[in-house]
Homo-oligomer: A and B are copies of this chain.
Amino acid sequence: MPAVRPLRGKRAAPRRSPPAPRAYTLREITARLGGEVVAGAACRVHAVAPLERAGAGEIAVASQPRQLEQLGATRAAAVVVPPALRAGTAGPCIVTDNPYAYFARLLTLLHPEPAVRAGVHRGAVIEPGAKIARSASIGPRAVIGRGAVIGACARVAAGCVVGAGVNIGAHTRLYPNVTVYPGCTLGDRVIVHSGVVIGADGFGHAPADGVWIKIPQIGGVTIGDDVEIGANTAIDRGTLGDTLIEAGVKLDNLIQIGHNVRIGAHTAIAGCVAIAGSTQIGKHCRIGGASAISGHLVIADGVTISGGTTVVKSIDTAGVYTSLPPLLPHREWQRNTVRMRQLERLVERIAALEMRLAREGTER
């Protein structure tokens, strides 16, 4: 039996960002991304790194007041800060109103992904009638079904299976081993991570004589532009109409979207969330991880659901909603949970006391 060794030191070390292809001066950066250079316009950086690890040639981003101390101590060649932290550094610095979004843009600029060659890998299987843009890239072992349309600059990676009649928009990217069932539509610039399944049958079964009769699901799935879908998430096809993910929605990993669901534009849903069939989620909602939303509900725009929360009723007002039992040391929980199931009895005891005192008050 091989000995179990702790993680080897060389692996535990935090990986350096991959080298960026070129360096930019702060002046060049603000010309592309906006923001104001308040010092060191000629300072040249080639990589983004965290404040506490950044060094020569690296630029770091501070966004929170609590990072003031780290900001003072950083060895980064340059920093990006909001106006409120401007006084926290004397070195090369860019000021911006939204440093977190700036962080996103800086990473995109300094750490671009390697270019992908257009074309169909000779190991791919393209069925008759599929239309693939010349600028698209189809990886080894991908299968593109009859009549599917793959848009300009789209990328379908190794092992993906794209069903008959699927429509994939421009610049949309399927990572390896994604499955899209026939007849689904993905917009432009959609990102689909590995293991995602789009368009499997919704969970529809009619009870009859003690068994279940399958309800064929003849609807589809429509996914708007700029949606991102995390690894191993599943989005079921609709029963008669389409399950609908509107533009700009961000879905994390291992999410279940039931049939006929509609997710409003720019809503973000964290990992392991379950959304049951026919529920409608509004726009600009934020759904915390590991939460669950029952079927046939309507959730208003701008609702935030805390992680781990279960929602069994519609919500018609924006705001933050939570349903979580308290976390307790186990023994304490054991005692507490006994009480939790006796609440009705406690209420009766309080009511009895109140009645008795009321009676005594009258008697006296």
A-side residues, CB < 8 A to B, are 1-2, 4-8, 11-12, 14-15, 17-18, 48-50, 53, 98, 100-101, 103-105, 107-108, 111, 113, 121, 123, 125, 139-141, 143, 157-159, 161, 163, 171, 175-177, 179, 181, 183, 185, 187-189, 191, 193-195, 197, 200-201, 203-208, 210-216, 218-220, 222, 224-226, 228, 230-232, 234, 236, 238, 240-242, 244, 246-248, 250, 252-254, 256, 258, 265-266, 268, 270-272, 274, 276, 284, 289-290, 292, 294, 304, 306-313, 319-330, 332-337, 339-341, 343-344, 346-347, 349-350, 353-354, 356-357
Tell me the minimal C-beta distance from A129 to chain B in angstroms: 13
Q: Are A6 and B246 in contact (CB under 8 A)?
A: yes
CB pairs A–B below 8 angstroms (22 shown): A2-B189, A7-B247, A8-B247, A11-B224, A53-B240, A98-B206, A103-B215, A113-B216, A123-B125, A141-B159, A179-B194, A179-B195, A179-B231, A193-B200, A201-B230, A276-B289, A308-B310, A321-B333, A322-B327, A339-B343, A346-B350, A356-B357
Q: Are A250 and B18 in contact (CB under 8 A)?
A: no
Q: Residue of B at shortest CB range from A358?
A: B356
Give 18 new A-B contacts, CB below 8 A, not counting A1-B213, A4-B266, A17-B240: A1-B108, A6-B247, A12-B222, A15-B219, A107-B218, A123-B125, A139-B143, A203-B253, A211-B248, A234-B253, A234-B254, A252-B256, A272-B274, A289-B294, A290-B292, A324-B325, A335-B344, A339-B343
Tell me the minimal C-beta distance from A301 to chain B in angstroms: 11
Tell me the minimal C-beta distance from A117 to chain B in angstroms: 12
Which of A50, A234, A244, A270 is most buried by chain B, counting CB atoms within 10 A of its CB?
A: A234
Q: Are B256 and A274 in contact (CB under 8 A)?
A: no
Q: Are A195 and B234 in contact (CB under 8 A)?
A: yes
Q: Which residues of B contact A356 (CB under 8 A)?
A: 357
A185's contact among B5, B11, B48, B327, by CB below 8 Å, is which? B11
Q: Which residues of B contact A103 (CB under 8 A)?
A: 206, 215
Q: Are B312 and A266 in contact (CB under 8 A)?
A: no
Q: Are A224 and B6 in contact (CB under 8 A)?
A: yes
The main secondary structure of chain A at its interface with chain B is loop
Q: Which residues of B contact A329 (CB under 8 A)?
A: 319-322
Tally of this chain's copies: 3
